[in-house]
Amino acid sequence: MSDEIKVELKRGINVIRINRLAKKNALTRAMYASMTDALKAGDENPDVKVHLFLGSKDCYTAGNDIADFMAVAMGGEHGTEVMDFLSALTHSKKPMVAGVDGIAVGIGVTMLFHCDQVVASPRANFKTPFVDLGVVPEGGSSLLAPLLMGYQRAFSLLAMGETFDLDMAWQAGFISVKTGED
């Protein structure tokens, strides 16, 4: 399990915290594997009532660690960590909640579409740079985003790569609770 994912059971809450602030919580394959293990273990633990995804103060996650993924692409190695995580996310047996403070980029946004509730601070902002990177949206986001926010807003976020601040995300409908704290 990666040290950059902290997992803790608190009063029935399976807290899964992304903890790699020096790299803006960018996700590596090892971190995906740790989050998959945490979701699966939490689903099987009768003491867990809900999964809670958190980042650090001022940073949820900058998305995928590009260096980690380039190493995979250049080396020809095709691990299953990302797909395993997305599968665990879509098949979770228990409710999922996310608390977003600061930036959420790429998978940091698309994983929110799978959550039952998303709480965000005024510092939260959301971006999916798929077109900029020449990749397609992942995690079923091209299906889920239009269902949650309508076609035009989903297109702005996923295809145009527009940054959504807290109010835009709230109006779009993928944030369910806005905190008043800075």
Count CA atoms closer than 13 A to 4's CA, side-chain side. 17
Ranges of residues in the chain whose predicted pLDDT is under 50: none
**pLDDT in the model for residue 73:** 65
Minimal CA–CA distance to 181: which of 132, 108, 105, 119?
A: 119
Q: What is the pLDDT of residue 29?
A: 93
- CA atoms within 13 Å, Cβ hemisphere of 140: 15
pLDDT at 68: 83
Q: pLDDT of 23-49, one tens digit each?
A: 999 999 999 999 999 999 999 999 999
pTM: 0.92
Three-state secondary structure readout of 18-61: ECCHHHCCCECHHHHHHHHHHHHHHHHCCCCCEEEEECECCEEE
Burial class, 94, CB count within 10 angstroms (exposed 0-12 / middle 13-18 / buried 19+): middle
> What 3-state DSSP class applies to 174?
coil
Got the DSSP string for 145-167? HHHHH-HHHHHHHHTS---EEHH
